[in-house]
Amino acid sequence: MKTLNTPIPPGGTIGIIGGGQLGRMLAMAAARLGMKTCIYNDAPDAPAFQVTDRSFAAPYDDLEKLAAFADACDAVTFEFENLPAHAIAHLADRVPVRPGAHALAITQDRLSEKTFVERLGLKTAPFFDVTSAGQAREAFAKLGGRGIIKTRRFGYDGKGQAKVASADEAVKAFESFKGAPAILEGFVDFEYEASVVAARGADGAFAAYDPPANEHENHILRRSTVPSPLSSAQVTGAKEIAQAIGKALDYVGVFAVELFVGKDGALLVNEIAPRVHNTGHWTIEACACSQFEQHIRAVAGWPLGDPARHADAVMENIIGAEVDAWEALAKTGALHLYGKAESRLGRKMGHITRLKPLTKP
């Protein structure tokens, strides 16, 4: 097996599992640092294939192709977390994988993730394991109010989840998951949503970006704004939450912690994303070292960059047919289009970031 005892020098190759927009922007950041990338994706039309040195198009559980991919790389990382555990183990036997299988295993499953966060002494919404219709009914009774039932694995952008206001609704929602294990979470009456995008280096160094406030439409992120309404004490608290999580996971790379900001000012952990994150896209223009460069630095064993921002920013996603107005959008800010061949309802086609002079968070 290859080992990573010293930093990967310029000219080295970072392997990226997943060829969507996150993989694309990671590859572009690696190129800035003089590194090559090799992208592995399960379909041949991946946006990241347009900007990489080498690519593999094969199923994520094709162990032979994964072995060839690993042999072409000095280290491997991911743009998304829902990968087969045996495939991750197969990769890790051949090449350094960052973040490691432990962090991915915990964050792939909402129940293990929430349990992990609770054991760290951090606040979350109340939650209950649901593996049967009877358990869904019992869990709702224990909850004592409205909730959200979610599949434990694979959900994103509102998929695999439903709001429930009665035991019957909880049972019906669970049955719609067709037997997939689920988790029932208490509904949080929050003031707004925020997130902290942070990085942990191979040497344990930690760096966090200013937390943005996030607005969603139809369960999809619409915009992220920095500075957020968080107080300086809340900003410090959010970064401390991320630091505790990163250390406990022995994490290497960039990750995000999605937060609910309670009406009492409390910060509740909603989810952990073990990868670069949509709410950190503003860092490309507003920071000298973006979240994508920061992740490549960590994976390659380089020193972490400075996460300080030099501007205020609003990042907005371009969703579905909104991309048709690309020419008008290009006049109003820093436009990023992801090279996707077809726009679909709810599909993220790009984003735009608009900057203003810096104010303090």
The per-residue pLDDT for range 28-65, each reduced to its tens digit, is 999 999 999 999 999 999 999 999 989 999 999 999 99
Angle between helices 291-300 and 21-32 (to 10 degrees): 70
d(CA 149, CA 133): 12
Q: What is the pLDDT of residue 159?
A: 67
Asked if 211 and 235 count as a contact pair (C-beta separation under 8 A), the reply is: yes
Asked if 245 and 196 count as a contact pair (C-beta separation under 8 A), the reply is: no
Please state the pTM of the whole predicted model: 0.94
- Beta strands 36-41 and 127-130 are unpaired
The pLDDT > 90 percentage for the chain reads 83
d(CA 220, CA 150): 16
Q: What is the pLDDT of residue 210?
A: 98
Q: What is the pLDDT of residue 155?
A: 63
d(CA 70, CA 93): 9
Residue ranges in the chain whose pLDDT is less than 70: 1, 155-159, 360-361
Instruction: Enumerate domains of the chain plus CATH numbers.
Output: 13-97 (3.40.50.20), 126-186 (3.30.1490.20), 190-357 (3.30.470.20)
Neighbours of 271 (CB within 10 A): 18
Provide the terminal-to-terminal Cα distance of the chain, rounded to the nearest Å: 45
